[in-house]
Structure 1
Amino acid sequence: MAQAPAARPALFYIECLRFIAAIAVVVIHVLGPYRELVAELPWHQWLPPVSLNAMSRWAVPIFVMVSGALLMSDQRPFNAAYYLRRRLAKVLLPFLAWTVIYALIGGFQDGVWSWQVSAELLENSPNEHTWYHLWFFYDFIPLYFVIPLLAPLVNKMEPQRVLLLLAAWLVLTLMYWLKVETPLRQNIIMYSGYLLMGWYLFNHDQRGQLKFWLATGAAMLAFNVLGSAYYIWQQGEYSSVFMGYKSLNTAVIAISLFVLVKAYAERIPQRARPLIKAVSKYSFGIYLVHPLLLIPVRDPANGVYQWFAHSSIALLVLTVATLVLAFAFTWLLTRSSLTRWLVP
C-alpha cells in the first residue's frame, strides 16, 4: 500500500495571505448590495464603501495563488489516490453539501419555504450556483485536474520560459479586461495563470523588486478606486469595470500583495500571530458560512441594509461582526466529527 506523503510545514506568510484574503472576501460580500443602492445615495456616502470594494477584489486570486504555490511546489512522488481523497474530495464534498444547504435556504420566499424553489435550484446547480459565493467552486474545482498536469512541466522548465508564459498570461488578462475576443479567454486558462504565478512567486526571490511591486500595487489600487468612482459618477449607477477577478488590474494587485506579504510577514509581532493563524486555519470555512450571517441584512425587504448603508462606520462594524461570527460558527462545526468535513 502506498504511504501518504508527509505534511508540509506551515509557512507564516502563506497564513497571512489566507488571513487577509478571508477578510477581503467578507468585505466584498458585505458591500455587495451597494450595486443597487449607489444610485440612491449622495457621493460622499457611496464613495467610501465603493472604494473599499474596488480595493478588495484580489481576494479570490490570492486564494488560487496560494493553492498553486503549495500544490504545484510539492516535489514528493505523486499519489493519485491520496490526491483525489485528501485534496480534491476535501473541496468537492463540502461544495456539494453546501450547494444543497443553500438550495434549501433559497427555498424560503417571503417567509414561506417552497420545496419547488429549492428543487429548481438543485436541478440547475450543475450549471448555476445555488448561492452567490459558490460560483468560486465552479472555477476552482477544475483546477485540481490542471495542477497534477501543470506542476511536473513547470518544475522542469527553465525560469525564462516560465516568465514568458506568465507574460503571455498577463497580456491575456489585459485582453480580458478590454473584452478582446479570443478563444483563450476561458476561465480555466485565466485561473490556471494564477496557479502558475503563485508557484513562481513561491519559488523565486522577489526581494530585489519590492519597491517596484509596492509602487505598482499602490498605483493600481488608486486606479481602481478613481476609475470606479469616475464610472459611477458618469453613469449614475454601479460599475464593475474595475472589479474583474481575471483582469490585469486585479492580477497586478494580487501579485504585489503576494510579493510584499512574503517579504514582510516575518516582521509581524508574535503577539498578533495566533489570531492570524486561527483565521487562516478556518478561512475556507469562513468563506463557506459567512453568507448565512448576511442573509438578514442583505434582504432588501426588511430595510436593514439601507440603515447600514448610510454609515461607513456601521458597515465596518457589520464586516467585523460577520467575520467574528463566521469564525465562531466554523470553529463550532469543527468540534464534531459529523460536521468537521463541512469546513475543512
Structure 2
Amino acid sequence: MPVKNRVFYFDLLNIAACYGVVWLHCSGDAFTFRLDKYWITSLIIQVIAHWAVPVFFMLTGANLMDYREKYSTKVYFRRRFSRVFIPFFVWSTIYLIWKCKLGWIKFSGGRELLSLYLNNGIEGIFWFFYPLLAIYLSIPVLTIFAEEKYKKQLYYLTGMGIVAYSFLPLLPGLFGISYSADLNPPVVGGYMMYVLLGWILKNESFSKKVRCIIYGAGAAGAVIMFAGTILLSLKAGELNNIFWDYMAFPTLFMACAVFLLAKHRHFKISENEKIGLAAAKLSQASFGVYLIHIMIIDFLVLNGHVNGDSRWWMVFGAAGVYVISAGIVVVCKKIPGGKYLFP
C-alpha cells in the first residue's frame, strides 16, 4: 500500500534529481572544450542529467503552490526558515571554516565576510539557494494562481516566462540579434517559470498525444544540447555552452518530459509499502545530500582516492558519492540535533 501523505512520483523525481546533480558535479570535464573521448563522455552526462536542477524548482511549485490549504502563511515561513535557511547558513559556515583552513578562502573583515554569505562566495554549488529563497518569499503571493478561476492568468504568466527566458536570450548568440533585457517580465524571472510549470504539470491532465509531443520535445532538447554544443564549440574554437543555461529551451523541454514521464508511468513497486518507505526516506535525505556531496567529492579527489579526470569516475563515481552522502545524512538525522544539520 502507498505511504500515507506521500506522492511516490514526487519522491522518485526528488531522488533522481538529487542523483543527477551529484552526477553533474562528478563530470566537470565538459567545461574545458577538447574533442576527445573524455570530453564527449562528460558532455553526454551533462546532457542526460541537466534536467535535474529545473525539476527541483518544479517540485517546489508542485508542493507549495497550495500550501494555504494545509497550513497558515506563518507556519509556511517558519518551516522554510527551519528547513532551508538554517541548514544553508550552518553549512555555509562549515564550508567557510573548511576552505579557510585549506587556504581557499581569505577575508579581512566583517564586510568581506558578510559579502561572502550574501554573494555565494563560499561554496559555488550553493548558488541554488539564492533563487530558491527568493522563490519562497514570492510564493505567498503566487498562491492565488493555484485557484481554478485564475488558470488562464497562470498559463499566461508561464507562457510569457518561457518566451522571455527560454527563447529570447538565445537570439544574440545564435542569430546576432540583440534585444533589451528590460523586455523580460520580472514577475516570472529567477526560475519562477519552473515553479509555475511544476504546479501546472502536477494538476493538468494532458492527452496521450500531447504527452508524446512533450516527450518528443524532451528528446529533441537533449539532441540540440549535445549536437549544438559540439558544432558551436568547433566553430568558435572554444566551449560554447549557450544551450546549457537551465532556463534555455533544451533543458526546459527535457525537464517537462521527465516530470510528465514520472507522473504518468505506473510503478508497481510503489504499491509495496517497504519500497515506498525507502523511497520516502531517500527523498527526505536529498537536501542533505545536496549540502554535503561536494565535500565528499573534494575529499576523495584531493586525497588521491579517485582520479577525478577518469571516465570511470565520470560514469560511476556519482553512485559512490551518492551512497556515502545519503548514508551520512540518514544516520545523522537519527542523532539528537541532527535535524538542524539535515532537516
Band the TM-score falls in, shorter-chain normalisation: 0.7 to 0.9
Provide the residue aligned with 1:199 in structure 2: 199
Q: CA deviation at 1:101?
A: 1.0
Give the partner amino acid of 2:168: M
Q: How does 1:263-278 map to 2 (within 5 A)?
A: 263-268=264-269, 270=272, 273=276, 275-278=278-281
The number of equivalent residue pairs is 328
Of 56, 65, 68, the match for 2:58: 65
Which of residues 274, 286, 289 in structure 1 aligns to 2:289? 286
**Distance in 2 between residues matched to 1:171 and 1:144, nearest whole Å:** 23
- Corresponding residue for residue 326 of structure 1: 325
Structure 2 counterparts to residues 178-327 of structure 1, below 5 A: 178=171, 180-183=179-182, 184=184, 189-208=189-208, 209-268=210-269, 270=272, 273=276, 275-296=278-299, 307-311=307-311, 313-327=312-326
d(CA) in 1 for partners of 2:47 and 2:37? 16
Structure 2 counterpart of 1:53, which letter?
Answer: Q
| Match of residue 133 from structure 1 | 125
- The 1:23–1:317 alpha-carbon spacing in structure 2 relative to 1, beyond 3 Å, is same
Counterparts of 1:9 and 1:77, CA distance in 2: 12
Could you tell me which runs of 5 or more consecutive residues in structure 1 were left unpaired when the two chains were aligned. Answer: 1-7
Aligned ranges 1:76-87 → 2 under 5 Å: 76=69, 79-87=72-80
SS in 1 for 2:265: helix
Aligned to 1:176: 169
1:12-39 C-alpha deviation (Å, 9 max, x unpaired): 0111110110011001111125424x44
* Identical residues among aligned pairs (%): 24
CA distance in structure 2 between the partners assigned to 1:129 and 1:113 by the alignment: 11
Q: Map Cα deviations across residues 120-169 of structure 1 (whole Å, 9 max, x no partner).
A: 55542212331011111111011111111001244153433322222211
Deviations 1:257-298 (A, max 9, x none): 111110005345648655543321211111111011111355
Say which SS state the counterpart of residue 141 (structure 1) adopts.
helix
Q: Is the 8 A contact 2:28 2:42 kept in 1?
A: no
1:45 equivalent in alignment to 2:38: yes
Q: CA RMSD in A?
A: 2.8
Of 7, 11, 21, which residue of structure 2 is paired with 1:11? 7
Q: Return the structure number with greater helix share.
A: 2
* Aligned mates of 1:34, 1:118 — CA distance in 2: 36
- What is the TM-score when the length of structure 1 is the normalising length? 0.85
Note the C-alpha offset of 1:207: 4.2
What amino acid is aligned across from residue 165 of structure 1 in structure 2? L
Give me the whole-angstrom Cα distance separating, in 2, the residues matched to 1:272 and 1:234: 49
Q: Conserved in 1, the CA contact under 8 Å of 2:120 and 2:126?
A: no
1:183-237 CA-partner distances (Å, limit 9, x unpaired)? 3276962411111111111111124322112111111111111112223333444
- In the alignment, structure 2 segments of 5+ residues that lack a partner are 173-178
